[in-house]
Amino acid sequence: MKQQIGVGMVGYAFMGRVHSQAWRSVGAFFDLPLSPSMAVLSGRSAGRTAEAAAQLGWAAVETDWKELVKRDDVQIVDICTPGDSHAEIAIAALEAGKHVICEKPLANTVAEAEAMAAAARAAAARGVRSMVAFNYRRVPAIALARQLVAEGRLGVIRHVRAQYLQDWIIDPEFPLVWRLQKDKAGSGALGDIGAHIVDTAQFILGDRLTGVSALTETFIKERPLADESAGLSAEGGVDRGQVTVDDAALFTGRFAGGAVASFEATRFATGRKNALRIEINGSLGSLSFDFEALNELWFHDHTLAAEEGGFRRVLVTEPGHPYAGAWWPPGHGLGYENTFTHEIKDFLEAIGGGFDPSPSFEDGLQVQRVLAAVEQSAADESRWTAI
Amino acid sequence: MKQQIGVGMVGYAFMGRVHSQAWRSVGAFFDLPLSPSMAVLSGRSAGRTAEAAAQLGWAAVETDWKELVKRDDVQIVDICTPGDSHAEIAIAALEAGKHVICEKPLANTVAEAEAMAAAARAAAARGVRSMVAFNYRRVPAIALARQLVAEGRLGVIRHVRAQYLQDWIIDPEFPLVWRLQKDKAGSGALGDIGAHIVDTAQFILGDRLTGVSALTETFIKERPLADESAGLSAEGGVDRGQVTVDDAALFTGRFAGGAVASFEATRFATGRKNALRIEINGSLGSLSFDFEALNELWFHDHTLAAEEGGFRRVLVTEPGHPYAGAWWPPGHGLGYENTFTHEIKDFLEAIGGGFDPSPSFEDGLQVQRVLAAVEQSAADESRWTAI
Amino acid sequence: MKQQIGVGMVGYAFMGRVHSQAWRSVGAFFDLPLSPSMAVLSGRSAGRTAEAAAQLGWAAVETDWKELVKRDDVQIVDICTPGDSHAEIAIAALEAGKHVICEKPLANTVAEAEAMAAAARAAAARGVRSMVAFNYRRVPAIALARQLVAEGRLGVIRHVRAQYLQDWIIDPEFPLVWRLQKDKAGSGALGDIGAHIVDTAQFILGDRLTGVSALTETFIKERPLADESAGLSAEGGVDRGQVTVDDAALFTGRFAGGAVASFEATRFATGRKNALRIEINGSLGSLSFDFEALNELWFHDHTLAAEEGGFRRVLVTEPGHPYAGAWWPPGHGLGYENTFTHEIKDFLEAIGGGFDPSPSFEDGLQVQRVLAAVEQSAADESRWTAI
Amino acid sequence: MKQQIGVGMVGYAFMGRVHSQAWRSVGAFFDLPLSPSMAVLSGRSAGRTAEAAAQLGWAAVETDWKELVKRDDVQIVDICTPGDSHAEIAIAALEAGKHVICEKPLANTVAEAEAMAAAARAAAARGVRSMVAFNYRRVPAIALARQLVAEGRLGVIRHVRAQYLQDWIIDPEFPLVWRLQKDKAGSGALGDIGAHIVDTAQFILGDRLTGVSALTETFIKERPLADESAGLSAEGGVDRGQVTVDDAALFTGRFAGGAVASFEATRFATGRKNALRIEINGSLGSLSFDFEALNELWFHDHTLAAEEGGFRRVLVTEPGHPYAGAWWPPGHGLGYENTFTHEIKDFLEAIGGGFDPSPSFEDGLQVQRVLAAVEQSAADESRWTAI
C-alpha cells in the first residue's frame, strides 16, 4: 500500500473545482509515490463550504484557513483563492511545514511574491516543497513544444508571438466582479491571462524576457456593481463602479537569447473563448499552438526539403508524448481538466522524490516582475523597461 | 443526503478504465438523483482484478461475474467486456433485477442482440433499465448536432457522409489481438468503429437506414499471434494466425427520410488516429464534425445571405450547450472521458426518474441489423440489402 | 522568333472563357516551343460570338464549327461545347489534321468515346495530337500528389476517398438548364464532376478502377423550364420539365493494385461550393486535398517518429513544385484559371516536342467506362460491376 | 468600340510581370470605360527589356523612362521600380499629364512622399489621376472585410492584430539583394510588407493610426554580396556587406476611433511564406484573414445566439462578393495575380469616370508617416510616437 498524504484546499470556486477533479483522479492514471487523500476544504461560509466539500469529495471542512494549515491530516496546502490572499496563506503554510501548491499569479505585487519566494527557499531547505500552478505547462502539446525546443529542433529562436484571447466581458453590462477590481485581482487581463502567456513562452524557450514595451487599455470604464455590493442608486438606476484593472494589455519584449516577442492578453477578443496561442519561429523550424484546439501542436521542420515542408498538425495523444500515455489510445483527446491532473502528478512526484517541483515560487516571482514592468512601461509612454 | 446506488463493473481494460473515471467523477459535476458507489469490480484473474480495483477505486472484487450479479450491494451492472460475453451477462443481470449499461456493439450477432432486447423489454416492465453505451452521442458537439437537426435547422436531409478512421494496425507485424478475431469481436472495424458511425448518423438524423450496399476488405491476412498464444514455430519463425475480421468496411445506404449516405470504417487510414467524422447536408444547412477536434461543430446556415454564408466553427463549450455548462468556462475544452461521464449521468437520471434511457437495447439491436446487412451485402457482390 | 500555331475554339461559355485566359497568358509565363495565336472562335449566334471574340481576344469568328475546322490559320481545335457535340467535332478535326484539346467528359456515351479514341489513335500515327481537358491534374497540389505517390512515398495504397461537392441546384426553383438534361449532358453530377474525381484518383494512383458498386439519386424530379423553352402553362403556373440526370452519385470501387475507394459526386452538398476532395492512405503515408484550398496539399509521412507525425500543410507554391516556379514567389497563391494555363502549356509542349500529351482520349474513354459502370450498377441494385 | 488608352510601364521584375498580366487580362473580365493597350516597357538594359517586352506583351521599348514619359502613345505610367526612383518618375509623369499608378511603398522617405502627394494634388486639379498600388485592398476577402466594417457589422472596433510573415531570408547565406539595402529599399520588412498591413488595417477600419511604439531587429547583420557586386575577398572568402535594413519590425498602435493594435512584419517567420494576416475584434463581431488562404474570410457574428456563434469560413467567391462575380462560379478560387487585375480595373474606372482613385498618393504618404514613426520609436527606446 502506498503512503497517503493529506491535502487541504483553500477556496472552492472555479479553480477549486478543477483542482478537486485532479486530486480525485490522479491516482487512477499515474503510478504515484504517494497517494493523496482529500482531507479538508476551507472556505468562509460554513454552509457553502460543506456543500462544496460534499459535492467535490473533501472529507472535512474548515471556515478558517489558519485552522486548515494547523491540521495534522494536512501535509499539502492547495491555494485556490484570489491573488490578494496568496502570500499570507502560502507563507503560513510553508512555515507550518506544509508543501504548497499555489494558483497563479503567484501574488498581486512583486513585494508579496518576493516574500513568498523567500519563504519557499527557506522551506525547501527543510524539505518542504512549493509550486506555482501554471497549469498550461502541463498541456501535452506545450510540454512537447518545450521538448522540441530543448532538443534544438527549432535552432536559434527568432520570434515569439503569444496571445491569450477571451471575450467574456465585452458586454458593458457585465458586472464588476472581483476580477475587475485591482485590490482583489492585482491587475486585469494582464495578471489573469497575460501571466500564462509570459510563463508559457519563457517555459517553452527555456529563456527569460529582459525587457518590455507595453500599452494597456480599459475599454469599459464603469460597470454595474456585482451581486454582493449592488443596489439601486438614488436615481433608481443601477449602481455602477469603476473598473480598476486593464481590459487588455499588449506588449513587445526581448529574450536574453535574442528572440523578439509580441504579447497580447485581452478579454475583448469577440468570438475567442480561451485562445491561448503561441507561435515560435526559429532558424530550423517553427511551432504553433492554440488552446482552443488543445490536443494539437503544429510543427514546421525547416530541415526537410522545401517542397515537402509545411506546418504539420501533430495530434499530441501518442503514448510517447508527455503525459499522454497514461490516458487513452491515440486520437482520443484530453481536456482542460487533465492539465491539472498532470500538475498534481508532477507535484506529488517531487514531494515523493525529494526534489523541488517546477515552476517554483521563484519562477512565479519572475513572471510577476514581467507583469510589473509591463504596467510600468504602459504608464510611461510605452518606454522600454528592463526586467 | 442522496440515496446511494451500488455499481458492479465487469471488465477493467480500456473501457473499464474510462467507465471508472466517469463513475468516480459524475457526482462532482452533475446534480444527480442517485449517488453511485463503486462497489464491485469483476475480472477473471484475482490478482490483476484486485490491482485494477485498487487503482480505479472499486471497493470489492469478484472473479466470477455471476457472483457480482447476485450481490446485494450492486444495483447497476456495467458491462465492459468483449462482445462475445455481452448477451449472457446482460440477460443474467436484467433477470436478477439489475439495471444494465452495456458497451457497444450490443452483441456479436443479431440473434444475441435480439435476446438481449427481449430481456430488456421484459425488465423495463419491472422498472429495470438498460442502455447501450454509444458514448459518442454524448459528445456535446454531437448532441448539439442532433438538436439542430431536430429543430429543423437543416431542413430536409439529403446527404450523410460518415467515416471512422484509425490506423493502429497498419503495421503487418501488429499482433493478432482479440479485436482481430471473429469469435471474440464479431467483426473488425465494422463492429468496433463502424457501429459508432451508424449509431451517430441515425441519432443525429432521428432516422433509420433502410438498406445498404457494402464492401469489406482485410488487407493483412495473417498476423503474429498475440502474447498469450504466441510461440516459436517449428521453423524458428514467429507463429502467425489468420485475421478473421475486416480491416475496413465501406458502404452506401439510404435513410427512410430520403437521405443517401456513405460510410467508411477502417483501421488503415494512415495518420488518422480517431477520426470519427460526419458531415450532413440538408436543404437549409449543413453540419460537419471530426472527433479529432471534439469540441468543435461546424455549422453552415444556408438561410443567411450567400455573401456571408460558410461553415462556422462553433466551439461547443458554452453554458447553453448540451452537458457543457456543468464543466468549465467557454473555450476550456472537454476530452474523451467526459463523454462517458455524460452517459452515466443520463443513465442515472433515467433510473432515478423512472424512465427508459436512450439508446436502448432495441437501438443497439437495430445497429446490429445494419452491421449484419453490411456483411451480407459485402458477401453478395455488394448487392443492395434491406434492413 | 518562335513559330506561331493557330488556335480555333468552339464554344465561349464558362469553359471558353477560362480556356481563352489560358491561351492569352501561357506565353508570358512558360517558355514554349510554339507561340499560340488566338485565331478563330466559333459559336452559333453570329452576334454573340463576335461579342465574345472581341471580349476574349479572338481574331476571327465562325458560326459553323465545320468552317473553323477547315481553316488554314487553325492548327489546334479547342472544344468547349457540351458533351453531346464532342465526338462529331473532335473526329472531324482530327481527320482534318488538327490537334485537338477537348473538354471533359470526353463524350456522353462509351460508344462515342470509343470512336473518338479510335480517331485519336489514327491521328497520332500521323503526328496529330489529342488531349482530354481534365484540368485538375494540373493543380500544382495534385501534380505534387502524383509525384509523391509515384516516388513511393505513400507505399502500398490502401484507401481512396474522393468527393466532389457542390450546391448550386439545391433550390427546387433552379431551372432545368442543359446540364440537367440527359440528352445534352449525358449524366448529371456523375459526368460533370464525378468524372473529375475518377480521373484525379486514377491519375494520382497511376492505377485503374476494376469495378464499382453505385447508387444515384435525383432529389428534385421536376424543375421550371429554363429561359429558352419556358412559358406559362395552361393553368398560369410555371411550366416544369423532368430532370433526367442524377443530382448525386455515390459509389465504392476497387483499384487493380488493391486499394478500396469511395466516391461521391453531388450538387446538393449545401455550403460546399467546389469541394473536389481526395484523401489517400498508403502503408507509408497519406495525402489529403480540397480544391476549396487549392494551394495546399496535406501530407502525412508515416516514416517519421509517431511523436512528430501528422498531416502537414504543404503550400504548393515553391519554385520546385510542379508549375509553381513559373509564377510568383512562395505563398502568393494561384487560382482556378492557372490550372488551364498549365494544361495548355503541357499540350503545346507535346505538340512541339512530337509526343502524345496526357491525359489522352484513351484515358477519357476509360473514365467514360467507369461512369457507365456506375450507371449500370445503380440500375441493378448496386451490384458489383466490372470495368 | 471602346476608346483605347496607352500604358507605359517602368520596370519588369516581379511587380512588372504581375502588372503585365493584369493589363493583359483586365478587359476580358470587366466591362471597362477604356481599353488599355500595352504600349511601352522601359528598362535600363536594351536587350533584357526587349526580351521582357516580347514575353510580357509590350509593343515597344525604351531604355530611359524619361523617353517613355514623353511618348504620345502613353497616357498611363505604371511604376514598378524600387522605391528610390518612385518620386522622380511619378512627379515627372504627373507633370507631363500622365495618369500614374505607382507601386508601394509610395517612396523611401516622408519628404519624397510629400512631394509626390503635392504633385498628385496639382495633377488632380487638371484631371490627371494617381494611385498607389496597395493591391491587397483588392483581395475580395479584404474588400468584403471593409464592407462589413463599414456596414457596422463589427460594431465598435476594439482590437486589430496584423502580421505579415515571410521567411525568404532566414538563411544567413542569402545574398545582400537591393531589398536589404537602405539606400535602395528605404527599409526592410517594415516598408516592404509592414506597409501593406498598415494600409490594410487602416483601409478595413476606415480609420487612422494616431501613434505607435516599436522595436525593430536585424538578426543577420552581414550577408554575402549579391551577384552584381560580389567578388572574392583578399582572403579567398566570400565578400560580405552590411545589412542596413530591419529583418523584423514589431509595433503596437492606437487608432483614432479607440482601437488598440499590434503589428508585426518579418522575413524570419520560418515556414510562413506570405502570411498577411489580420484579425479585428469589435463589439458586435470579428474578422480574421490570412493571405495564404486568400479566398477565405472568417467572420464571427456576435449578434447570433452564443450557442451557434463561431468564426465562419466565408468562401469569398460568390457573385455578390467584391470583384468575384466577374470570374468563375463559386468555389473556383482566385490567385495573387487577380488582385492586380482588380486594381487596374478600379484605376481605369476612375480615369474613365473622371474621379480620383483610391488609395491616393495622400494615402501612401500617410502610410509613409506611420513607417517613419515606427523607425523613430524604435530608435528611441520604443517610446510612444504620435503620427
Please write the tens of the pLDDT for every residue from B360-387: 999 999 999 999 999 999 999 999 999 9
Q: Which of A24, A27, A332 sits opposite B336 (nearest CB)?
A: A332
Highest mean pLDDT among C73-77, C231-235, D2-6 belongs to C73-77
CA B116/CA A381 separation, integer angstroms: 74
Q: Does A299 reach chain C within 8 Å, measured CB to CB?
A: yes
Residues contacting D135, CB < 8 A, separation 6+: D339, D340, D342, D343
Which tens digits make up the pLDDT trace of B343-359? 999 999 999 999 999 99
Residues contacting A48, CB < 8 A, separation 6+: none
Which of C136, C160, C182 is the last residue in one of the domains? C136
Task: Look at residue C227 in the predicted model and tell me its pLDDT.
Answer: 65
pLDDT exceeds 60 at position D207: yes
Q: What are the residue ranges of helices labelled H in chain B?
A: 14-29, 46-56, 65-70, 86-95, 110-124, 140-150, 182-185, 189, 195-205, 336-353, 361-379
Which of D149, D154, D159 has the highest number of chain A CBs within 10 A, making it the mutation to test binding with A? Answer: D159
CA D272/CA D164 separation, integer angstroms: 9
Residue of B nearest to C170 (CA): B283
Task: Look at residue D139 in the predicted model and tell me its pLDDT.
Answer: 98
Q: Does C213 reach chain B within 8 Å, measured CB to CB?
A: yes
Task: Look at residue C33 in the predicted model and tell me its pLDDT.
Answer: 97
CATH of the domain at C187: 3.30.360.10
Chain C CB contacts of D271 under 8 Å are none
Chain C CB contacts of B258 under 8 Å are 219
CA C185/CA A53 separation, integer angstroms: 71
Residue B5 to chain A, least CA–CA distance (Å): 16
Return the ∠ at Cα B160 (arms to B154 and B165), rounded to 5°: 130
**Rg over CA atoms, chain D:** 21
Residue of D nearest to A158 (CA): D268
Q: String of b and e for C209-230 (b: at least 16 CB within 10 Å)?
A: bebbbbbbbbbbeebbbbeeee
Q: Does A168 reach chain B within 8 Å, measured CB to CB?
A: yes
E strands of chain A, at which residues? 3-10, 34-42, 60-62, 76-79, 99-103, 130-133, 157-165, 209-217, 222-224, 240-242, 248-255, 260-266, 275-282, 285-290, 296-301, 311-315, 385-386
pLDDT exceeds 60 at position A232: no
Q: Does D302 reach chain B within 8 Å, measured CB to CB?
A: no
Residue B330 to chain C, least CA–CA distance (Å): 27
pLDDT exceeds 50 at position D30: yes
Q: Does A176 reach chain C within 8 Å, measured CB to CB?
A: no
Contact assignment for A144 to C301 by CB distance below 8 Å: no
Contact assignment for D331 to C166 by CB distance below 8 Å: yes
Q: Does D293 reach chain B within 8 Å, measured CB to CB?
A: no
Whether B387 is in a domain gets the answer no
Whether C211 is in a domain gets the answer yes
Name the CA dihedral angle for B139, B145, B146, B150, rounded to a multiple of 10 degrees.
160
User: Percent of chain B at pLDDT above 90?
Assistant: 96
- Over residues C290-304, mean pLDDT: 98
Compute the count of residue pairs across chains B and D with CB atoms less than 8 Å apart.
50
Contact assignment for A292 to B333 by CB distance below 8 Å: yes
Specify whether A98 is located in the same domain as A153. Answer: no
Contact assignment for D270 to A281 by CB distance below 8 Å: yes
- Over residues C359-384, mean pLDDT: 98
Report the DSSP pairing between strands B3-10 and B34-42: parallel
Task: Look at residue B232 in the predicted model and tell me its pLDDT.
Answer: 46
Number of independent structural domains in chain A: 2
Q: What are the residue ranges of helices labelled H in C252-305?
A: none
Compute the count of residue pairs across chains C and D with CB atoms less than 8 Å apart.
105
Whether D332 is in a domain gets the answer yes
Contact assignment for A159 to D269 by CB distance below 8 Å: yes
pLDDT exceeds 60 at position D24: yes
Specify whether C10 is located in the same domain as C159. Answer: no
Whether A304 is in a domain gets the answer yes
Specify whether D311 is located in the same domain as D175. Answer: yes
Specify whether D106 is located in the same domain as D200. Answer: no
Those chains having 3 or more beta-carbon pairs within 8 angstroms of chain C are A, B, D
Which tens digits make up the pLDDT trace of A238-291? 799 999 999 999 999 999 999 999 999 999 999 999 999 999 999 999 999 999
Specify whether B241 is located in the same domain as B297. Answer: yes
Contact assignment for D274 to C333 by CB distance below 8 Å: yes
CA B345/CA B133 separation, integer angstroms: 12
- Over residues B321-346, mean pLDDT: 98
Whether A385 is in a domain gets the answer no
- Over residues A305-329, mean pLDDT: 97
Question: Which of the four pLDDT bands, split at 50, 70 and 90, describes residue A229?
Answer: very low
Task: Look at residue B238 in the predicted model and tell me its pLDDT.
Answer: 76
- Over residues D19-45, mean pLDDT: 97
Question: Which of the four pLDDT bands, split at 50, 70 and 90, describes residue C238?
Answer: confident
Which tens digits make up the pLDDT trace of D302-331? 999 999 999 999 999 999 999 999 999 999
Q: Which of A163, A213, A282 sits opposite D270 (nearest CB)?
A: A282
Task: Look at residue B24 in the predicted model and tell me its pLDDT.
Answer: 97
Specify whether C111 is located in the same domain as C175. Answer: no
DSSP assigned state of C232: B
User: Percent of chain C at pLDDT above 90?
Assistant: 96
The per-residue pLDDT of chain C, averaged, comes to 96
Specify whether D258 is located in the same domain as D349. Answer: yes
Task: Look at residue D2 in the predicted model and tell me its pLDDT.
Answer: 85
Task: State the ipTM, two decimals.
Answer: 0.95
Residue of C nearest to A313 (CA): C310
CA B39/CA B21 separation, integer angstroms: 14
Which tens digits make up the pLDDT trace of D53-62? 999 999 999 9
Largest CA distance in chain D: 72
CA C31/CA C14 separation, integer angstroms: 27
Task: Look at residue D226 in the predicted model and tell me its pLDDT.
Answer: 76
Compute the count of residue pairs across chains B and C with CB atoms less than 8 Å apart.
131
CATH of the domain at C61: 3.40.50.720
Q: Does A318 reach chain C within 8 Å, measured CB to CB?
A: yes
Whether C117 is in a domain gets the answer yes
Q: Which of B300, B308, B313 sits opposite D311 (nearest CB)?
A: B313
User: Percent of chain A at pLDDT above 90?
Assistant: 96
Contact assignment for B321 to D315 by CB distance below 8 Å: no
Specify whether A201 is located in the same domain as A251. Answer: yes
Which tens digits make up the pLDDT trace of C172-216? 999 999 999 999 999 999 999 999 999 999 999 999 999 999 999
Q: Which of B144, B305, B310 sits opposite D312 (nearest CB)?
A: B310
Q: Does B295 reach chain A within 8 Å, measured CB to CB?
A: yes
- Closest C-alpha among D215, D283, D221 to residue D251: D215
Contact assignment for A271 to D248 by CB distance below 8 Å: no
- Over residues C289-315, mean pLDDT: 98
Specify whether A64 is located in the same domain as A143. Answer: no
Chain C CB contacts of B167 under 8 Å are 281
Phi then psi for residue D73, to 5 deg, are: -85, 10
A243, three cell numbers: 473598473
Question: Which of the four pLDDT bands, split at 50, 70 and 90, describes residue B234?
Answer: low
Q: Does B162 reach chain C within 8 Å, measured CB to CB?
A: no
Specify whether A145 is located in the same domain as A66. Answer: no
Chain D CB contacts of B301 under 8 Å are 308
Which of B136, B162, B196 is the last residue in one of the domains? B136
Question: Which of the four pLDDT bands, split at 50, 70 and 90, describes residue A2?
Answer: confident
Which tens digits make up the pLDDT trace of B109-118? 999 999 999 9
Q: Does B285 reach chain C within 8 Å, measured CB to CB?
A: yes
Residue C312 to chain A, least CA–CA distance (Å): 3
Which tens digits make up the pLDDT trace of A62-115? 999 999 999 999 999 999 999 999 999 999 999 999 999 999 999 999 999 999
- Over residues B128-142, mean pLDDT: 98
Task: Look at residue B236 in the predicted model and tell me its pLDDT.
Answer: 58
Which tens digits make up the pLDDT trace of C77-112? 999 999 999 999 999 999 999 999 999 999 999 999
- Over residues B76-90, mean pLDDT: 96
> pTM of this prediction?
0.97
pLDDT exceeds 80 at position C317: yes
Which of A144, A154, A308, A323 has the highest number of chain C CBs within 10 A, making it the mutation to test binding with C? Answer: A308
Report yes or no: C314 and C299 within 8 Å, Cβ to Cβ.
yes
Specify whether B197 is located in the same domain as B341. Answer: yes
D267, three cell numbers: 522575413
pLDDT exceeds 80 at position A1: no
Range of the domain at A36: 3-136
Question: Which of the four pLDDT bands, split at 50, 70 and 90, describes residue D231?
Answer: very low
pLDDT exceeds 80 at position D235: no
DSSP assigned state of C226: P
Which of C136, C169, C204 is the last residue in one of the domains? C136
Whether A384 is in a domain gets the answer no
Peptide bond preceding D175 in cis form (omega within 30 of 0):
no
Contact assignment for A271 to D286 by CB distance below 8 Å: yes
Contact assignment for A252 to D382 by CB distance below 8 Å: yes
Specify whether B90 is located in the same domain as B172. Answer: no
pLDDT exceeds 60 at position B228: no
Phi then psi for residue C148, to 5 deg, are: -65, -40
C278, three cell numbers: 481526395
Whether D112 is in a domain gets the answer yes
Residues contacting B315, CB < 8 A, separation 6+: A273, A292, B295, B296, B330, B331, D310
Q: Does A302 reach chain D within 8 Å, measured CB to CB?
A: yes
Contact assignment for B317 to A55 by CB distance below 8 Å: no
Q: Which of B17, B28, B338 sits opposite A335 (nearest CB)?
A: B338
Which tens digits make up the pLDDT trace of B286-316? 999 999 999 999 999 999 999 999 999 999 9
